[in-house]
Structure 1
Amino acid sequence: MNNQKIPRINKNRRLGVGFLGAGPVTQAIHLPSLARLGDLFTVSHVMDVNPAVAESVAGRVGARSSSSVEELLADESVEVVAICSPHQFHAEQVIAACRAGKKAVLCEKPFAVSAEEAAKISEVSAEMGVPVIVGAMHTFDPGWLAAEELWGDLPDTAHYIRSSIVLPPNARFEDFATEVITRPSMPKPDYSDPAVVRARFEGMVLGLAIHDLPLVRRFVPRFDDLQVLHAAIAKPFGYSITLRAGGRTIEMLASINRTWKPEWTFEAYGPASAMKVTFSPSYVQAGSAVVEYTTEARKVAAGPFKHNGYEGEWRHIWDVIAGSATAPAAQTLIDDLGFAIKIANAAGEAAIAGLAPALKPEEARA
């Protein structure tokens, strides 16, 4: 969130990275990405509340391990903090990392769970001069960056936007690259309970849909008129949400099921052009997204490129610290989060309204 272009590193040495949380995201996503960027970064410290997990994961990369946030932040070899802990701890840990005077913070999405937390992060980031980058990997994907170069006036003219995600459970991908698996068993949710429905939409939007919501926001800079037209849960895990915002219709679909063929696409349609971006599934280190841009007169394709958005976000962190790039504007990150929270809340209420005939009146109002 710091927009100052100030060189802060010797470009001939590697930056030490410390991880708060050593779960599947650290193991299956960030460690492989950093292994390909060994000339820029080295993992120096891994912290997890489970000391055995921290020690095992740290041993893979020759790093120090601990089970204390304070110990990691006091480690002078840690110059960049990567926050991969559960959502509810993100804001507190981002603020602590900024106050510890680190060179940058990478926080997995969402970087906060309320507007108040986001504003506080922005304030502390600016005060300490520590840039905060949110791990929205699709925004750093070379395929998406190519789409930005191709799309012309589509962000101004698009009338329909769709994010479609069809994936098997994360375990299918996690288990290939995850050494320590601590996956708790989850009880079957009771979708007749309005509180469960609200919590489910919050989890699905802030945990899955949020990957593409910063992309949607490029086409919907204003969302004060946001209205969810339809919302439903797709069992066993997924959602169908249709909304209007900024004069555009937005459709968000997700199904996590026993599929053999994953597919993740983002599409935008205008009166004279259309764009489709196809991303690799989460946890898959398989190159960048591919973009297709079409008009009546031509069709242009770009990608795949050599690296993906996971590696792209780390390259961007290096550039920000080196002073050759700027971190995303604080207000952009705050608005992206506000957009996600507003959708999650409105979708939960719309889904409950759809269940209302099956609920007692007092349950529907709860």
Structure 2
Amino acid sequence: MAKPIVDSNSMNNVSSNMFPKYGHKQRRNIKVLITLGLLIVIAFVLSMNTGFIRLSPLDTIRTLFGGGSEKEQLILFDFRLPRIVISLLIGSGLAVSGCIMQSISRNALADPGILGINAGAGLVVLVFVAYYPNLGTASIFLLPVLAWIGAGLTAVIIFSLSYKRHKGLLPTRLLLTGVAVAAGISAATIVITLRINPEKYQFVATWMAGSIWGANWKFVLVLLPFIVILLPFVFSKAGTMNVLNLGEMTAIGLGTKVYREQIILLGAAVGLAGSCVAVSGSIGFVGLIGPHLARRLVGQMHQALLPASALIGSLMVIVADMLGRLILQPSEIPAGIIVTIVGAPYFLYLLAHSR
């Protein structure tokens, strides 16, 4: 089979996509990223002061620098700070995972939650949590591995059913297959939930709603290696993702090993989504909304799109968790429910305007 012919103009465009020149747009993108970072810092500070027991800004600052009472140190260092850090890690991981899936499938509606990958990871974690006697230190570190296995198996099923030889991944088929697989996994999840001990039911129900339940430093250590390793790796693949966005035939003509790169990027997306679900439960729509908002702010180039998606995802989750702790005090609303209230209408809007 002859390789597709690509003219010199296409080659020049691809070259500029892979290695963008520093100019006005890049300076604007840097300002956008800095603004998002500042908003996260503001949300971080506000979140430290949010909860049933209020800490004033002065009390928070004094406690951060070693002062404060024993109670204030317990609230800040043992409860709030690990929860805030986990929210930031989860948001960035889910948003970048969604950005990867939208890129490799060229489907604007692709998202690890909508496609059922989060559900697959959650099912395996749910089985482990429901039937394992207790969550000791060793078992806690198993959670991301189990979630990765569940997410990986689900992704293999969905993408194998959506892939057609000589046609690649079909966007519409991918979305429909993912919705169908997610429905099946949700049914299995409900069956398992009904069969577990009543004592664990409340925890499982809260976790399934997207609660950041692992709010201690052990879970930060569980999640941190996946984010620290996978995010820089994905950022290094920005040029490849730019080429993949041009279409499979064009990418092949430019010498890109499309199938291999898709598998590698899919593995990274599954690793990010699975590890986040293991700690947070199923928080949907972050991987959909984050990349879409980032695309509106910084454009299609993944050199800026990926970090912008990570920052927006982090901002979404930390704000959702803060609102969940604030609205119905002393009770809490899981962050996943807050995100869904915003995400479901946005998904319907995108679906109505998609071609």
- Higher relative contact order (Cα pairs below 8 Å, separated by 6+ residues): 2
Point out the structure with the larger helix share.
2
Point out the structure with the larger strand share.
1
**TM exceeding 0.5:** no
TM-score, with length taken from structure 1: 0.25
